[in-house]
Amino acid sequence: MVGIGYDIHKLAVGNSLILGGIKIDSEKGTVAYSDGDVLIHSIIDAMLGAAGLGDIGEHFPDNYAKYKDADSCKLLEIVNDWILKKGLQIVNIDASIILESPKLSSYKSAIKNNLAKILNVNPVRINVKAKTNEKQDSIGSNNSIAVYSICELVWDKN
């Protein structure tokens, strides 16, 4: 079973940029109701989609006080528990982060390893790519960040 995830957030000077639970050194960060971890939000949507469990907004609405400034790593843990309780396991996750700057090459390994730790999977099951938008649109002008993710789940053999 395969699910696709997507998320986009505005960027603003002075806000934090967190990707996969890792704080990124950046002049701009996400404008969001939670911690704004656009990567984890996209992965959550991909996982929920693959499991047939709806989408992130249904489970963690952005108008519910409980999720104000929520730690997205904790939300990912919750969703992973739901997946496991349904008898499913992660085959792989692939994500493309689209951000003009800063460059993410020095962060990708830490992001991948942190996601693997949260999800309790081997890091080889997770791939994180960083792309620019070649200075096109709001992403290319460094006013927003987007992530596309895909997740494959299978029934646990145990």
CB-count exposure of residue 122 (10 Å: 0-12, 13-18, 19+)? exposed
Q: How does pLDDT run across 124-153, given as a tens digit for each residue?
A: 999 999 999 999 999 999 999 999 999 999
**Consecutive H or E run containing 154:** strand 144-155
**Consecutive H or E run containing 128:** strand 126-131
Strands 2-13 and 28-31: antiparallel
**Torsion of the alpha carbons at 107, 22, 98 and 69, rounded to the nearest 10:** -170
Q: How does pLDDT run across 69-84, given as a tens digit for each residue?
A: 789 999 999 999 999 9
pTM: 0.95
**Consecutive H or E run containing 8:** strand 2-13
Q: How does pLDDT run across 91-115, given as a tens digit for each residue?
A: 999 999 999 999 999 999 999 999 9
Domains of the chain by range and CATH?
A: 2-155 (3.30.1330.50)
Among residues 20, 37, 12, the alpha carbon closest in space to that of 112 is found at 20
**CA gap 103, 107 in Å, rounded:** 9
pLDDT of residue 49: 98
Q: How does pLDDT run across 1-25, given as a tens digit for each residue?
A: 999 999 999 999 999 999 999 999 9
Model confidence at 29: pLDDT above 90: yes
